[in-house]
Amino acid sequence: MRRCIPLLPLLACAIALPVQAEKIDAPRIGAPVPPSQAPTADTPISYPGGPVPANVTGTLGPGSATFNRPLSGCTSLSAVGTATPYDTITLTNTGASAASINLAMGAAGTPTTCASGAAGSDTFVAVYNGSFNPASPLANCAFAEDDVNGPCAAVSNVPVAPGATIVIVLTTFYNEASFAYEASFAGTTPVTLQSFSVE
């Protein structure tokens, strides 16, 4: 703490306090930054209902495909995450009932906790209805979420009709990233229809 002596009665003293860097995202003006053409890892999942799908693991870093990710809520493209590395999960509901998908992305080995707090390991998840085109990252975007629990990203209660497909994009808030991740579907459930009668 710095001490100071006011020179005038109305002059306030400035106190030097540590300041935490605040993470700020901003909308990008113009067309998306073209994606890299590197191969990306896609995990196909057929979900018939019942037990939750197995966890998905992977690594984001040098050599990963990149894209200009959306802002939370799919409202615009990000001016911060213009070349974020990504992997995808393509999930198809093969059951007879609608499903409600929950997914959390965290550190490998402990998917419900965050990867380290370093800027490069701040996770981000986006969900697309039907298909995902990294060259057109707002098309079909239904959900996009950044921080839910510290730097962990998660989406909850994503509806998937019988026979429908969603693509879940596992990515990062910042462009620079190199870490192992794990995605958990804990809490995913088939939606059962209740029968009732009207008298």
Domain-embedded: residue 172: yes
CA separation for the pair 146, 169 (Å, rounded): 12
Residue closest to 180 by CA, chosen among 41, 67, 68: 41
Residue 148 has pLDDT above 60, yes or no: no
Least confident of 122-131, 140-149, 152-161: 140-149
Domain-embedded: residue 104: yes
CA separation for the pair 122, 141 (Å, rounded): 20
Query: What is the number of structural domains in the chain?
Result: 1
CB contact set of 123 (below 8 Å; sequence gap of 6+): 105, 106, 114, 115, 151, 152, 153, 170, 171, 172, 173, 181
Domain-embedded: residue 196: no
Supply the CATH number for residue 82's domain. Answer: 2.60.120.380
CA separation for the pair 79, 56 (Å, rounded): 28
Domain-embedded: residue 70: yes
The average confidence (pLDDT) of the chain is: 81
Mean pLDDT of 6-33: 59
Domain-embedded: residue 36: no
Please give the C-alpha separations between residue 69 and each of 4, 22, 24, 93, 158, in angstroms, as whole numbers.
47, 19, 14, 25, 19
* pLDDT at site 43: 95
Domain-embedded: residue 91: yes
pLDDT in tens, 175-189: 987 888 899 998 888
**Chain length of the chain:** 199
* pLDDT at site 53: 93
Q: Are 89 and 159 spatial neighbours (Cβ–Cβ below 8 Å)? A: no
Least confident of 53-57, 136-140, 157-161, 192-196: 192-196
Domain-embedded: residue 109: yes
Domain-embedded: residue 32: no
CB contact set of 140 (below 8 Å; sequence gap of 6+): 128, 129, 130, 131, 132, 133, 167
> Measured in whole angstroms, how far is the alpha carbon of residue 100 from the centre of its chain?
17
**Mapping DSSP to helix (H, G, I), strand (E, B) and coil, where does residue 72 land?**
helix
Predicted TM-score of the model (pTM): 0.81
Structural domain of 125: 42-190
